[in-house]
């Protein structure tokens, strides 16, 4: 039976993982698994409280449960943070344009994430690692304001122990702890310090808009062309269908034409950063 993307499925909260003081990952069991691509999103609802758009944080290769990492910022996300395992929520979708997997195949991949933005990269990252033979070098640079604000801490440790991915972690100056062994610095200058080669490479970027803006500038300095940079924009989405007009950037709607955009596409639209 095909999913009706206009109607929510009833999903049971199977597990809630505390990631940071204001981010939780919700693992949801659906009566029918969703067929989705890395980079797509769903609309999740807490009954009587409303609904909101969230990126799908798990890979299609690891889809026994649907995972969404949710930062508490308003009414709906607060309602999610008050849920308990066993509670029911609504899930509809998936929506949007995901990552062009064929365009990435055979390339060296540079993942650059900031804060909760790693959730939008996680689906693609694990998809690539689970299909490791299809890609060249895989590198992850991930930063947050403080050590406490790093999401997926256990997973990051697992990634650091693998020999098929290079991982660099950083926190903003003042956000380190005495035990911190990673770098201290904002993501863009740390990226320039690492100096990744643009040869046969694609950079996948997601984080706060200001981080994306300056990361794009740093990638340009390193020789990455706009055709070698892709990002995902979950900002402002509401209906998921391009009907309410909340997410338009010029002639494009993030929820319908994205949320994945190449930098070359964004250069033709009004500046959102």
Shared domain check, 206 and 173: yes
Shared domain check, 91 and 105: no
Q: Is residue 263 part of a domain?
A: no
Shared domain check, 228 and 107: yes
Shared domain check, 140 and 72: no
Percentage with pLDDT > 90 across the chain = 84
Shared domain check, 179 and 76: no
User: The CATH number of the domain where 206 resides is what?
Assistant: 3.40.50.80
pLDDT of residue 236: 66
Shared domain check, 157 and 56: no
pLDDT of residue 253: 85
Q: How far apart are CA 229 and CA 219, in angstroms?
A: 8
Location of structure tokens 């909340």: 246
pLDDT at 21 over 50: yes
Query: Which is more confidently placed, 243 or 156?
Result: 156
User: The CATH number of the domain where 76 resides is what?
Assistant: 2.40.30.10
Predicted confidence band at 3 (pLDDT cuts at 50, 70, 90)?
A: low
Q: Is residue 269 part of a domain?
A: no
Shared domain check, 55 and 25: yes
Q: Whole-number mean pLDDT of the chain?
A: 93
Shared domain check, 78 and 108: no
Range of the domain at 51: 9-95
Shared domain check, 87 and 105: no
pLDDT at 2 over 70: no
Q: Is residue 199 part of a domain?
A: yes
Q: Is residue 268 part of a domain?
A: no
Predicted confidence band at 273 (pLDDT cuts at 50, 70, 90)?
A: low
Average pLDDT over residues 6-13: 91
pLDDT at 241 over 90: no
Q: Is residue 264 part of a domain?
A: no
Cis peptide bond upstream of 101, omega within 30:
no
Least confident of 25-29, 187-191, 249-253: 249-253
pLDDT at 1 over 80: no
Mean pLDDT comparison of 57-66, 241-250, 260-269, highest-scoring range:
57-66
Q: Is residue 259 part of a domain?
A: no
Shared domain check, 204 and 118: yes
pLDDT of residue 145: 97
- Neighbour tally for 21: CB within 10 Å: 9
Domain count, the chain: 2
Q: Is residue 262 part of a domain?
A: no
pLDDT tens-digit readout, 82-129: 999 999 999 999 999 999 999 999 999 999 999 999 999 999 999 999
Q: What pTM was estimated for this model as a whole?
A: 0.94
Q: Is residue 247 part of a domain?
A: no
Shared domain check, 223 and 112: yes
pLDDT of residue 270: 79
pLDDT tens-digit readout, 218-233: 999 999 999 999 999 8
**SS3 readout for the chain:** CCCCCCCCEEEEEEEEEEEECCEEEEEEECCCCCCCCCCCEEEEEECCCEEEEEECCCCHHHCCCEEEEEECCCHHHHHHHCCCCCCEEEEEEEECECCCHHHHCCCEEEEEEEHHHHHHHHHHHHHHHHCHHHCCCEEEEEEECCHHHCCCHHHHHHHHHCCCCEEEEEECCCCCCCCCCCEECCHHHHHHHHCCCCCCEEEEEECCHHHHHHHHHHHHHCCCCHHHEEEECCCCCCCCCCCCCCCEECCEEHHHHCEEEEHHHHCCCCCCC
Average pLDDT over residues 37-54: 94
pLDDT tens-digit readout, 151-206: 999 999 999 999 999 999 999 999 999 999 999 999 999 999 999 999 999 999 99
Shared domain check, 57 and 122: no
């Amino acid at each position: 039976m095909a999913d009706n993307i206009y109607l929510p499925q009833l999903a049971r909260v199977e597990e809630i993982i505390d990631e940071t003081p204001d981010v939780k990952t919700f693992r949801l069991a659906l009566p029918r698994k969703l067929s989705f691509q890395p980079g797509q999103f769903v609309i999740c609802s807490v009954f009587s409280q409303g609904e909101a758009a969230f990126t799908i944080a798990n890979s299609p290769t690891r889809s026994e449960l649907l995972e969404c990492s949710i930062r508490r910022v308003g009414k709906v996300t607060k309602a999610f943070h008050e849920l308990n395992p066993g509670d029911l929520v609504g899930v509809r979708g998936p929506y949007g344009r995901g990552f062009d997997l064929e365009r990435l195949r055979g390339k060296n991949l540079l993942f650059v994430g900031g804060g909760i933005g790693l959730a939008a990269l996680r689906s693609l990252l694990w998809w690539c690692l689970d299909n490791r033979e299809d890609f060249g070098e895989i590198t992850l640079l991930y930063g947050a304001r403080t050590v406490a604000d790093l999401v997926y801490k256990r997973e990051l440790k697992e990634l650091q122990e693998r020999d098929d991915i290079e991982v660099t972690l950083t926190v903003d100056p003042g956000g380190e702890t005495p035990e911190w062994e990673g770098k201290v610095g904002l993501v863009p200058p740390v990226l320039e310090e690492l100096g990744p080669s643009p040869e046969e490479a694609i950079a996948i970027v997601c984080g706060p808009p200001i981080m994306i803006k300056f990361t794009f500038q740093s990638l340009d300095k390193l020789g990455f062309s706009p055709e070698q940079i892709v990002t995902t924009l979950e900002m402002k989405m509401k209906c998921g269908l391009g009907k309410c007009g909340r997410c338009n950037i010029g002639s494009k709607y993030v929820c319908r034409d994205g949320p994945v955009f190449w930098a070359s596409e964004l250069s033709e639209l009004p500046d959102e950063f």
